[in-house]
């Protein structure tokens, strides 16, 4: 999940291109199918109907994200540009966004719109949910700390029934917790470049989000308040400091959370 190496791996990247006119790229292209489902408008070079379930799921993801984090309304439209073939996707990106690094899927924040570019691959659904989460967050908030942006995208990239117990990060995180390899929110907060996010940082960012959402109502409330302050353009403070005020040792609590985390018996 490293963003800068391994082009075939799932990658993720948020790029802000305030000077780029995304709609001109859109108008210049000849899409086979276009449709709007909930807050997203999809443009594709193949019939979109084959993924209708995923598009419906994305509507639910928007509702869940807004509800869980108590986010306000979207402040800009979100466009998905969906390609059948990798080669077409690559040619499109090279033509319209030559300065953007080559990624398997990418979210580009344009002037007045969020834009996701993705092509058919083995993890297409995951790419759509992951980049769609970035797009939703950035459509509601003036900014999102990089590690938290990625942690939330990792959390919401799996289908809803896998969010709590089925994310691919869980097994390794539980092993780390058993051996007391601590996850430190302060360290995550120091990340300011995507190049500093390797596989471990992605996993720890996901784990911190899972902990904040599921350890207790109070840990979730801290995250909700943090986003409320961001949305209101008030200084949100540091999450690590907020958790230190709530818990004697947040890293210990994160380890305990994952040691104890079990799917309840049916």
**Interacting residues with Zn ion (CB under 5 A):** 12, 150, 153
Q: Any idea what DSSP says for residue 82?
A: E
**Contact in structure between 147 and 238 (CB atoms under 8 Å):** no
Residue 132 vs 250, nearer CB to Zn ion = 132
With a CB cutoff of 8 Å and minimum separation 6, the contacts of 23 are 113
- Which residue, 12 or 115, has its beta carbon nearer to Zn ion? 12
In the complex with Zn ion, the residue whose CB is nearer, 96 or 156, is 156
HSE-CB at 120 with a 13 A cutoff on CA atoms is 12
Strands (E), the chain: 14-16, 33-37, 40-44, 78-83, 105-109, 114-119
List CB contacts of 182: < 8 A, sequence separation 6 or more.
251, 252, 254, 255
Choose between 12 and 219: whose C-beta lies nearer to Zn ion.
12
Q: Is 135 exposed, middle or buried (0-12, 13-18, 19+ CB in 10 A)?
A: buried
Least CB distance from residue 78 to Zn ion, whole Å?
A: 15
CB of 180 to Zn ion, least distance (A): 28
Partner residues linked to 34 by β-bridges: 43
Task: Decide: 153 and 131 in contact? Cβ < 8 Å.
Answer: yes
Cβ-based nearer residue to Zn ion, 12 or 251: 12
| CB of residue 178 to Zn ion, shortest distance in Å | 28
- State the nearest-atom distance from the C-beta of 258 to Zn ion, in Å: 22
Q: Could you tell me the smallest distance in angstroms from the CB atom of residue 146 to Zn ion?
A: 9
Nearest to 41, CA basis, from 105, 113, 140: 113
Tell me the residue nearest to Zn ion as measured from the CB.
12
- Return the number of the residue (57 or 127) whose C-beta is nearest Zn ion: 127
Q: How far is the CB of 209 from Zn ion (least distance, A)?
A: 12
């Amino acid at each position: 999940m490293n963003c800068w190496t391994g082009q075939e791996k799932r990658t993720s990247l948020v790029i802000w291109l305030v000077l780029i006119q995304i709609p001109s790229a859109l108008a210049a292209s000849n899409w086979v199918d276009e449709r709007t489902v909930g807050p997203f408008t999809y443009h594709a070079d193949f019939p979109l109907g084959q993924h209708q379930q995923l598009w419906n799921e994305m509507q639910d993801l928007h509702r869940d994200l807004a509800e869980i984090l108590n986010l306000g309304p979207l402040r800009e439209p979100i466009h998905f540009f969906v390609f059948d073939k990798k080669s077409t996707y690559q040619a499109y990106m090279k033509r319209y966004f030559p300065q953007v690094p080559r990624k398997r899927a990418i979210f580009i924040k344009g002037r007045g719109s969020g834009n996701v570019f993705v092509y058919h691959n083995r993890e297409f659904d995951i790419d759509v949910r992951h980049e769609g989460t970035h797009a939703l967050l950035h459509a509601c908030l003036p900014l999102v700390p990089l590690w938290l942006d990625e942690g939330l995208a990792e959390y919401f990239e799996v289908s809803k029934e896998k969010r709590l117990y089925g994310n691919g990060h869980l097994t390794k995180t539980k092993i780390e917790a058993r051996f007391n390899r601590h996850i430190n929110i302060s360290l995550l907060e120091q990340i300011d470049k995507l190049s500093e996010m390797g596989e471990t940082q992605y996993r720890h960012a996901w784990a911190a989000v899972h902990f904040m959402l599921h350890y207790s109502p109070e840990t979730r409330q801290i995250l909700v308040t943090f986003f409320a302050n961001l949305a209101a353009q008030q200084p949100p403070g540091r999450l690590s400091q907020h958790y230190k005020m709530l818990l004697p040792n947040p890293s210990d609590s994160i380890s305990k959370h994952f040691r104890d985390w079990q799917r309840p018996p049916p």
